[in-house]
Chain A
């Protein structure tokens, strides 16, 4: 009960901060839109390549793009936390009886909401280009994005609490998110990759999310890969939340 109430208070706080500057929603969507406009058209001529998934360039590319939005959107959330650490806000909360878990969950829920709104905007913008979404596809897609948001933002907060400075946090997330992106098959399907690259990609949890997202958008909604992708993202979320909660509950951070 206290956890729920404190989480709600924290969620409101961070939503308020976010809504004061709604431009961030648009800025977060801008990068994927650039991919949509300036990169996705390149794929049109590749759809006939052997190994390229069926469904057309946009139904193949946009699901991956949403996974990328989740990854990049969530990994940047630590900057706000570092600013709050510096302002003394986190220390102030630590002296109060607030649930430590709520300090994490309240923020992470705000991040999920942001990502879901951004995903919907991106899906709508992709329709004129040729995306043909299905209702079930959109729901599964948003579920995947929400789970990635929960897991990755929790990990990002844990990293921010451990590093305490933008100077070490920024290089860390840039160094980690690029290989995660390249090994997820977002930009080009991994079916086009050589064997060794496919093997490495199997170690990347996000590659399963991308596969699941493509499947639901291209008429393979009942494929076991969809369930597998969701399950792996749920596991990632649980692990992320556990690590993040541990960090928040430690006395010194």
Chain B
């Protein structure tokens, strides 16, 4: 559905050139939910804007929905829907009017556009507010309307830029359900997010992007398996550096990092590693304040690839 090769975007400013996207290779399959995970400023939105015809790439190739992005952008536009972070409706216009207008811009007849708008209003549960100006919508209603606007012309591929940023947990869960329904009807979804939970829970495959480059790509499970078996988090009072020195060399520790007052140890088997850790610290007289055993999260994947925590970077 999307294939890119060495896609790049350089922005020129007075301070010099900034390479926002530094060579992205992607292969998004038909019918999957593909997530672009990374901190703010990593190049997620820039990539999305290039793939949705909004921004011409500086170099590289891309095929989107079967058409060449650079030479056939007019044809690409008929096949894709795009939901931006900023929203997409005018505050004084009723939701239904916005939907119908959108359909007509894609060449639907008035009757067809009205019918399709009614379908979406029912599916997205917007019946209560659809005929009111969008300024009266709640945050969740507005986002659902944005999705409806993006779906009016039944696109094969829908781009969602940070679809749940700023939403309360309930609306977020609701939005996830809507995205999964899209996959059920065969629509390919390409979304960006800086929420680990969202990438983990919603996406079939994710690409982790940092400084304009993809640093990891795969299913959430496969990415987590890459890191190691388990993560043991050791908390001490101001002794992180000593703990790191002490345990880094142990044979059962594959990798260790320190930060936020804790040491993270990547080990093959957490159950056997924990007693050894306790004994080693005891022998040095280091007092433990906490010790926990975790399955690796996508944050560990990010940390592993970039040396930084996504929570800090975001």
Per DSSP, chain B at the interface is loop
- Using an 8 Å CB-CB cutoff, how does the interface string of B49-87 with A read, 1 for contact, 0 for none? 000111110000000000000000010011011101111
- Enumerate B70-106 residues with CB–CB distance to A below 8 Å: 74, 77-78, 80-82, 84-93, 97, 101-102, 104-106
B93–A95 touching, CB < 8 Å? no
**How far does the Cβ of A249 sit from chain B's closest Cβ, in whole Å?**
12
* Count of residues in B whose CB is under 8 Å from the partner chain: 29
From B53, B55, B93, B149, A92 is in contact (CB under 8 Å) with B149
In the complex, what residues of B have CB within 8 A of residue A13's CB?
Answer: 93, 101
In the complex, what residues of B have CB within 8 A of residue A86's CB?
Answer: 86
A91 touching B97 in the complex, CB below 8 Å, given contacts A96-B106, A97-B74:
no
**How far does the Cβ of A251 sit from chain B's closest Cβ, in whole Å?**
5
In the complex, what residues of B have CB within 8 A of residue A6's CB?
Answer: 105
- With CB as the reference atom, state the residue of chain A lying closest to B152: A96
Residue A50 at the chain B interface, CB threshold 8 Å:
no
| A90 CA / B310 CA spacing, docked (Å) | 32
- Enumerate A87-143 residues with CB–CB distance to B below 8 Å: 87-89, 91-98
**How far does the Cβ of A14 sit from chain B's closest Cβ, in whole Å?**
10
* Count of residues in A whose CB is under 8 Å from the partner chain: 22
In the complex, what residues of B have CB within 8 A of residue A84's CB?
Answer: 90
B93–A251 touching, CB < 8 Å? no
From B78, B90, B105, B149, A87 is in contact (CB under 8 Å) with B90
B105–A98 touching, CB < 8 Å? yes
**How far does the Cβ of B124 sit from chain A's closest Cβ, in whole Å?**
17
From B56, B74, B90, B107, A89 is in contact (CB under 8 Å) with B90
B53–A95 touching, CB < 8 Å? yes
| A173 CA / B87 CA spacing, docked (Å) | 28
**How far does the Cβ of B57 sit from chain A's closest Cβ, in whole Å?**
11
- Using an 8 Å CB-CB cutoff, how does the interface string of A137-172 with B read, 1 for contact, 0 for none? 000000000000000000000000000000000000
A252–B55 touching, CB < 8 Å? yes
**How far does the Cβ of B76 sit from chain A's closest Cβ, in whole Å?**
9
From A87, A91, A93, A252, B91 is in contact (CB under 8 Å) with A87
From A17, A96, A97, A251, B90 is in contact (CB under 8 Å) with A17
- With CB as the reference atom, state the residue of chain B lying closest to A85: B86
From A20, A89, A95, B54 is in contact (CB under 8 Å) with A95
| A17 CA / B98 CA spacing, docked (Å) | 12
In the complex, what residues of B have CB within 8 A of residue A94's CB?
Answer: 53-54
Residues of A within 8 A of B (CB): 6, 9, 13, 16-17, 20-21, 84, 86-89, 91-98, 251-252
Can you report 9 residue pairs joining A to B where beta carbons are below 8 Å apart?
A: A6-B105, A9-B104, A9-B105, A21-B92, A88-B84, A88-B86, A97-B74, A97-B106, A251-B53
Closest 3 CB pairs of A and B: A88-B86, A92-B88, A95-B82
